Chains A and B, each alone.
Chain A
Amino acid sequence: MTTQHAASTSASTPPPDPHDNIVQAVDVCKSFGDKKILTDVNLTVARGEVVVMVGPSGAGKTTMLRTINRLESIDSGEIRVNGELIGQRVNKHGKVVERSARDLARQRADIGFVFQHFNLFPHMSVLENVSLAAVEVRHQPKSKVNDYARELLERVGLAEKADARTRSLSGGQQQRVAIARALAMRPALMLFDEPTSALDPEMVGEVLTVMKGLAEAGMTMIVVSHEMGFTREVADRVVVMDAGTIIESGAPDQVFSNPKHDRTRQFLSKVL
C-alpha cells in the first residue's frame, strides 16, 4: 500500500504541491478488541484537496475519519495533521507518547468535524452553538465572534434562525448549523462523516449545496459520502475503502467508469 498523490487531481484544478500535505496517515492500524478495523491505511491529503471516501458499511470509513482528529486512537502507524502528530508527540527519549488533553484540544480546534447526527448542543441557541468555541476556546471577543457567526449562518442560508432553538430546526437546517459551527473555528481541514445520510431525501440538496460552496472556496475536505453526483462534481479524488483497507484511489471519473478492483465494481453497482 502506498500513498496516493499520483492520481490526486482532476483536470480542472492545478496539481497540489505534494509537500503541502495537511493530512498524512502512514500504515494506520486499529482494532476494537480482537477485531481488526483498519489495516495499514495510508492516506495523504494536500491543502485545498477534496477527498471523498466511499465503501460498504462496516469498511472502517467512520473509524478512519475519526482517527484524523483523534476521536479514535490508533494502535500503530502515525497520523500527521499540518505536520504534527495528532494526539501524540515524540518525547525527549525519542518515544511516541500521548499529548496532553490541552495540547490535543489545540490541535482539534483546527479540524472541523461534521457528524452524521449533527450533535448540535440542544441547551443553546443556534447562534450560541456557532459562536461558543470561538469565544471559549479561541478567546476571541464575543461581539466579533457573533458577527462572524451571523455571517456564517447567512452563508448556510439560516441567518433568520440565529436565535432559534436547535430542536425547532429540520434535519437539513441542523446539519447546516453544524457546518457553520465547525467553520466558526476557521479550521484548516473539514471532516464530514456521511453528513446527509440521516436526512430526509428532500433535505439532502441544501446540505450538499453548502458543501459544494465550501469546496469551491478552497476548503480542504475529507468527506465520507455516497452521494455520487456530489462526488463527481466536487471530488478531486475518490478513495474506496473495504474491510479496513484502501483498495482503490483516483479521480472520480476514473474510479467510477473504470474501477480496477472487483470489490469497487461490486460496491459501485449498488450505489450508482
Chain B
Amino acid sequence: MKFDWPYFWESLLSPSPQFLNGLALTVIISVVAMALALLLGLVIALMGRSRFLPFQLFASLYIWVIRGTPLLVQLVIIYTGFAAAGIFRFEDTDVLGSLIKGAVQAAIIGLMLNESAYISEIVRSGLESVDRGQNEAALSLGMTPMHSMRRIIVPQAIRIMVPPLGNSFNGLMKSTSILSIIGVSEMFQVGSTMSAATFKVFEIYIVVALYYLLLTTVWTFIQTAIENTLNVRAGLPRAEPVFKRLFGIRSRKQTTPAPALALQPADAA
C-alpha cells in the first residue's frame, strides 16, 4: 500500500483555505438547520398535541411523509425538482452582507424539514414523559396552561429531551456530507474535488473522516456539559463521563431515575 504520509499530515494539520471553508460551511449549515428544526419540531409537536383535529392530522401526515422518505430524495426534490417544475427556484441571496448560495438555502431548508419530523417526536415523548399530575398541580395553583408549560413541564421535559436531541444533531452533522449532491461546497464536496485533482483519494478521505470525527467529538463534550448542567440543576447525578460515551461504554446503573412518580391506575378505596 502506498500512503503519502507527508501529504496526509499537511492536509490534516494545515488544511487549504477551501477545505476550511468547507468545514465552516458544514458547521454553519448544521447549526442553523438544527436551530430552525428545533423551532419547527416544537410547532409540529404542539400541533400533534392540539385538540384541533386538522392540526393533529397535519402533524401526523408531515411526520409520516418526512420520516418515510430519504433525505437525499427530499433534497433533490426541493432544490432540483421544484426548479424544474417551475414551482420555486432557490436564488443566491444577500443576507447581512454575505452572499448565500441557492444550494445552501435549499440545504438548510431540506435538513430543517427532515430533522424537524424526528425532533417533533422527541419533543412529544419528552412532554409526555412528564407526569400529568404536574400540570394539574400547576393549574390548581392558578397557573394558565401556557405558564404551566413554560415553568413546570418544559423544564422537566428538557432533561429527557437533551440526550436524543444531541444524538440527532450528531447525525445531522454527518448527513451534511450528502449535500454535495445538490452542489453545496461543504467539507465532503471540497474533499471530493481535491481528491479528483490530486488522486490522493485515500489520504484525503481519511482527513475528511478525521474532521467529521473532530466535529462529533467536540459536540459530545458540549452535549455532556449541557446534560450535566441540567442534572445538577435538578439535583440528580451527573451524566456519563465523555470518554465512556465516546467509546460506547455504558454503565449498567441507571443515572437518571424516572422523571416523576408513576400514577397508580386505581385509588385504594
Contacts and interface: CB of A to CB of B under 8 A. Distances in A.
Contact of A57 (B131, B136, B267): B267
Interface string B240-269: 000000000000000000011101101111
A270 B139 CA distance: 35
Given A57-B266, A57-B269, A121 B143 contact: no
Given A122-B156, A123-B233, A194-B267, A115 B142 contact: no
A226 interface: yes
Q: Chain A binding site: helix, strand, loop or mixed by DSSP?
A: loop
Given A71-B136, A122-B156, A194-B267, A117 B261 contact: yes
Interface size class of B (residues with CB under 8 A): 20 to 34
B158 to A, nearest CB: 10
B235 A226 contact: no
A121 B235 contact: no
Contacts of A197: 267-268
Contacts of B143: 105, 133, 136-137
A112 interface: yes
Contact of B131 (A105, A119, A185): A119
Chain A CB count within 10 A is highest, among B133, B140, B146, for B140
A47 to B, nearest CB: 20
A258 B140 CA distance: 37
B134 interface: yes
A23 to B, nearest CB: 15
Interface string B129-141: 0010110111111
A132 B155 CA distance: 14
Interface string B19-35: 00000000000000000
Contacts, number: 89
A115 B146 CA distance: 21
A105 B140 CA distance: 8
B239 to A, nearest CB: 16
A102 B267 contact: no
B57 interface: no
B141 A132 contact: yes
Contacts of A118: 261
A29 B139 CA distance: 23
A123 B137 contact: no
8 contacts: A109-B142, A116-B267, A119-B137, A123-B156, A165-B235, A167-B235, A194-B267, A198-B264
Given A105-B142, A110-B142, 13 more contacts: A57-B266, A57-B268, A112-B140, A113-B137, A118-B261, A119-B134, A120-B137, A121-B152, A137-B142, A138-B142, A182-B140, A194-B268, A226-B269
